[in-house]
Structure 1
Amino acid sequence: MTLAPERSAISPTAPHVTQAQHVAAEQHRLNTRLSLEGGAERTHPPKKSGRPNPMGHLTNEQIEAIGRELDAIRAEVMASRGARDAAYIRRVIRVQRGLEIGSRAVLLFSKNKYAWLAGTAGLSLAKILENMEIGHNVLHGQWDWMRDPKIHSTSWDWDMASPAKQWQHSHNQLHHTYTNVLGRDNDLGYGLLRVDEDQPWELFHLGQPIWHLINAMFFEYGIAAYDLELRGNLQNWDDLSEEEKAVFKANLHEMLGKIRKQAMKDYVLHPLVSGPSFLPTLLANFTANTVRNIWSNTVIICGHFPDGIDTFETDSIEGETRGEWYLRQMLGSGNISGSKFTHIMTGNLSHQIEHHLFPDMPSNRYSEISPRIKALMERNDLHYVTGPVLKQAYQVYRKVCRLALPNEEPGRSRWSVVRGELGKVVKGKGGTRTKRHLPSTADA
């Protein structure tokens, strides 16, 4: 049985089908790793660090009952997709494009400070909408059922430095399959931050309170480098096969081409069109991209790293059942509370728990099912993590600062461990780095 529930068939005569079927595209699929069905009774022992397994209090029967209930919720929603859902995403796209065009028109007069403020604010909102509620969710295949070739996971090109196909591999195939599995899910800190006590500590992590802030400002480029596995490939270059090197070079060329295209649009063409407002427009575009990057980073970290989020040992997912996969998604994610406007501007990733359970469900449906998911978790004594965005972001930054230092060791303080590692580097005996996580694990 597959980890992610199979897709329901969509009737070709459904009223929301307004355009020809997108027959050239492969069906967008997530989590292709197979798991065993049935078999021996499974146990959920504590983690190697001694921390308890968050699903250890549940029996196998309870876990599979949770899985069946979640299957039923998914089937109910997916069967009810129709005209109102299609109208929703098309309306959001129209609003986003109108907001961007209008904001860029205002920026033609950006030498005026009020025009600059209005245009920059509007462009920032437009970029957030395109990135979060549209791009992220379209590339997850949430709207593939409409069979609209213009709003499809195989054809959408978003306003991000990372090429769509590279992002889909690292995010859809790896992260959503191995959510919060230590050594398998590279999204646990993006190879840059240590966000869990069970992750190995390196001297590099001493600077992570600063790396975190820099990464937030230039988040789209950090994600592009992460999707490319830049650090891991460069560190292990001599160990790569010629085929792997060729793939890396091709992906790098594609990424640089995407960045060049974006830079020409935002930092050359639009400022030039503004004529005497060239410099203010240039600054407005840079500001809008920075605002979008910081907001996107904030939403992502609040959904994955605040207090109460659990991680899982690599060997704990061997033979994982559908119910256990569902539990891992619920326990490894957190929500953001707020208004309907907040939910839209987060791309409905304020419902990160619901998104991880059903990544291909239309985003406008997450708010409908969230009370049912919360009730299900509370009935089974599972912690439903949620809170305001500022509270969640504070918890993450506090964790980033705390885990910049290593865990305490018996008879040694954290700082004494740091001094010992620094001494090894000075003597030329330290400085070893963690090997990269190989992407081939996605198809294991």
Structure 2
Amino acid sequence: MAITEVGIYAHLTPGDVEALGRELDAIRRDIEDQRGTRDATYIRRTITFQRALDAASRLTIALSRGKTGWLLGTAGLAVAKSIENMELGHNIGHGQWDWMNDPEIHSATWEWDMAGLSAQWRYSHNFRHHVYTNVLGMDDDIGFGVMRMTRDQPWRPRLLLQPLQNLFLAATFEWGIALHDLYSERDRAATPAGKAAQTKLFATKIGRQVGKDYLLFPLMSGRRWRRTLAANATANIARNLWAYLVIFCGHFPDGAEKFTPAALEEESKAEWYLRQMLGTANFDAGPTLAFLSGNLCYQIEHHLFPDLPSNRYAQIARRVRALCEKYDLPYTSGPLLRQYLLTLRTIHKLALPDTFLTATSDDAPETASERKFHNDPPRAAADIDGPTGRRGLVSALRAAGESPRLHLKAGRSPVASQQISRVGARRLSPRRRMKKDA
């Protein structure tokens, strides 16, 4: 069972959760007050750089005669497509630059260089994914409808092929996302005519995208059309692999938790913040890697503030880390390779039926709930306070390492212990009762 009581799982009192929310609100206000010329200059320079790199790479492919020129041009084109996809298309589509009131750099007008339609992506991603992050049955991005990424998703025989599906999805990621967004938009359409209209818009975008990369540019190359066609296909696959890697490492490593729909009952803004912090993961990156990932190495910060400028995420991350330490919460991050290997382990492990898995759906590296803390006896305050005097999830998980049976088993503070005992007695307590009892 995924997490139902977010505050209880985090070992924070309702007062702590609301205090955390106020401090995150303060970060938002500070960044909004600081936005200005520096940020506008950043995004305009990024657009100029991306377009120049795209043009230079295509010229290199078309004019060079040897393999070295083709490789350099193709690599440059893949980088240009990655920047356009993540630092531009993704972040502009989130409305991060709408405050500039520039009709070109606006979420309502920007159309990205991807198979999917930006308007369809905005509903699927900005609403269904970001509002309901990692909520089972509501966030379609948990496995994108084809992968099993938590034990709370039922196993089916077809999932035995999940490792191969994963490879196919990685290579064709833009097409998988495009279809995912189309189905989400069609589900929202109220009438058959509305569904047909969305399909027509999707087909039109596909025609433009395929025509540009696989007809127009190869034809412009004349007798060397095969060279250009191969370069475009290779650059698209490389961009797909990179986008897949960044997205999966931000959502599926160990520590990126999942939630039941009951977690949304009377969810406050502060509880929404906490759910975002618990449901996402970062990977370590310097300035260059951060730029190439669209600053989505800061996935925690992005989910907290999806509409704040991406060039501010490194600045925001320092303050979010400090808050995690203050409230004794985990700040899930690690080297990119490590985060992906953890994700890959989950993909391969969950391809198997549950009878082959040893941990439970309440206490596994990729799936957890507040139930795993239910049977632990309370500890003395001196044993359970975190480094700042506040007993939170980090202390609970650290105590888990003392158990030879479950590496995530832990004690709790008296307040959390009382709350969790009520969860065990009633199985899943409604949030309004938790607030009343607090």
Q: Which TM bucket (shorter chain)?
A: 0.7 to 0.9
1:125 matches 2:79: yes
- When the two structures are aligned, how many residues end up with a matched partner? 359
**Residues 54 and 331 of structure 1 are in contact (CA less than 8 Å); yes or no, is this contact kept in structure 2?**
no
AA paired with 1:153? Answer: S
1:377 aligns to what? 324
1:261 aligns to what? 208
Whole-Å separation in 2 of the counterparts to 1:48 and 1:173:
21
Whole-Å separation in 2 of the counterparts to 1:81 and 1:188:
33
Q: CA deviation digits over 1:330-382, x for unaligned, max 9? A: 11000010210000010000000000000000000000010110121122222
Q: Paired residue for 1:247, among 194, 200, 219?
A: 194
Q: CA deviation digits over 1:138-194, x for unaligned, max 9? A: 000000000000100000010011101100000001100000111111110000111
2:340 aligns to what? 393
1:306 matches 2:260: no
1:247 Cα deviation from its structure 2 partner: 2.3
1:154 aligns to what? 108
The 3-state SS of whatever aligns with 2:355 is coil
Q: 1:158-197 residue pairs with structure 2 within 5 A?
A: 158-197=112-151
1:249 Cα deviation from its structure 2 partner: 2.0
Whole-Å separation in 2 of the counterparts to 1:90 and 1:241:
34
1:388 Cα deviation from its structure 2 partner: 1.5
Q: TM-score, normalised by structure 1?
A: 0.77
2:375 aligns to what? none
AA paired with 1:314? Answer: P
Q: 1:210-221 residue pairs with structure 2 within 5 A?
A: 210-221=164-175
Whole-Å separation in 1 of the counterparts to 2:84 and 2:316:
24
Q: CA deviation digits over 1:76-124, x for unaligned, max 9? A: 0111100000000000000000000111111112542122111101101
Change (3 A) 1:145 1:317: same
**Residues 3 and 258 of structure 2 are in contact (CA less than 8 Å); yes or no, is this contact kept in structure 1?**
no
The 3-state SS of whatever aligns with 1:386 is coil
1:56 Cα deviation from its structure 2 partner: 4.4
Q: CA deviation digits over 1:366-404, x for unaligned, max 9? A: 000101101211222221111121111111111000001
Whole-Å separation in 2 of the counterparts to 1:406 and 1:50:
24
User: Percent same amino acid at aligned positions?
Assistant: 49
Change (3 A) 1:314 1:87: same
**Residues 180 and 312 of structure 1 are in contact (CA less than 8 Å); yes or no, is this contact kept in structure 2?**
yes
Q: Paired residue for 2:354, among 390, 407, 423?
A: 407
Q: Where does the alignment leave 5 or more consecutive residues of structure 2 unmatched?
A: 361-438
**Residues 351 and 367 of structure 1 are in contact (CA less than 8 Å); yes or no, is this contact kept in structure 2?**
yes
The 3-state SS of whatever aligns with 1:176 is helix
Q: CA deviation digits over 1:23-53, x for unaligned, max 9? A: xxxxxxxxxxxxxxxxxxxxxxxx4699997
Q: Which moved more, 1:138-147 or 1:47-56?
A: 47-56
Change (3 A) 1:51 1:329: closer
2:154 aligns to what? 200
Q: Paired residue for 1:293, among 236, 240, 245?
A: 240
2:301 aligns to what? 354
State the Cα RMSD in Å: 2.3
**Residues 143 and 151 of structure 1 are in contact (CA less than 8 Å); yes or no, is this contact kept in structure 2?**
yes
Whole-Å separation in 2 of the counterparts to 1:94 and 1:243:
41
Whole-Å separation in 1 of the counterparts to 2:35 and 2:306:
15
**Residues 111 and 280 of structure 1 are in contact (CA less than 8 Å); yes or no, is this contact kept in structure 2?**
no
1:263 Cα deviation from its structure 2 partner: 1.0
**Residues 283 and 336 of structure 2 are in contact (CA less than 8 Å); yes or no, is this contact kept in structure 1?**
yes
Change (3 A) 1:61 1:293: same
1:85 aligns to what? 39
Whole-Å separation in 1 of the counterparts to 2:53 and 2:291:
15
Q: CA deviation digits over 1:261-287, x for unaligned, max 9? A: 111111111111111211011000000
AA paired with 2:156? Answer: E
**Residues 120 and 284 of structure 1 are in contact (CA less than 8 Å); yes or no, is this contact kept in structure 2?**
yes
Q: Which moved more, 1:391-400 or 1:91-100?
A: 391-400
Whole-Å separation in 1 of the counterparts to 2:162 and 2:74:
30
1:438 aligns to what? none
AA paired with 2:251? Answer: H
Q: Where does the alignment leave 5 or more consecutive residues of structure 1 unmatched?
A: 1-46, 234-239, 414-444
1:216 Cα deviation from its structure 2 partner: 0.7
Q: 1:42-121 residue pairs with structure 2 within 5 A?
A: 47=1, 55-121=9-75
**Residues 182 and 313 of structure 1 are in contact (CA less than 8 Å); yes or no, is this contact kept in structure 2?**
yes
Change (3 A) 1:50 1:122: closer
1:242 Cα deviation from its structure 2 partner: 9.5
1:244 Cα deviation from its structure 2 partner: 3.6
The 3-state SS of whatever aligns with 1:104 is helix
Whole-Å separation in 2 of the counterparts to 1:125 and 1:338:
17
1:204 Cα deviation from its structure 2 partner: 2.2
**Residues 255 and 332 of structure 2 are in contact (CA less than 8 Å); yes or no, is this contact kept in structure 1?**
yes
Q: 1:128-143 residue pairs with structure 2 within 5 A?
A: 128-143=82-97
Whole-Å separation in 2 of the counterparts to 1:53 and 1:161:
40
AA paired with 2:290? Answer: H
1:437 aligns to what? none
Whole-Å separation in 2 of the counterparts to 1:241 and 1:162:
17
1:54 Cα deviation from its structure 2 partner: 6.5
2:313 aligns to what? 366
